Amino acid sequence: MSDAKKLILFWGVSFLVGFYCVFVMQQLWNWFAVLLLHVGEASYPQMYGLNALFALITARDIPENPMGEARWQRVFTILNACVPAGSREMMMEEIRIEDAGLWTTLGTWIFGIASGYTLSLGIGFLIHTFA
- How many domains does the chain fold into? 1
- Domain that includes residue 88, residue range: 3-130
Whole-model pTM above 0.75?
Answer: no
Going from the C-alpha of 46 to that of each of 18, 23, 43, 127, the distances in angstroms are 15, 11, 5, 24
Spatial distance between the Cα atoms of 102 and 10, rounded to a whole number of angstroms: 11
Closest to 121 in 3D by CA, of 54, 48, 24: 24
Mean pLDDT of 8-25: 94
Q: Which of residues 97 and 45 earns the better pLDDT score?
A: 45
pLDDT, residue 121, reads 96
Q: To the nearest whole percent, how much of the chain has pLDDT over 70? A: 97
Amino acid identity, position 85: A
Spatial distance between the Cα atoms of 62 and 28, rounded to a whole number of angstroms: 29
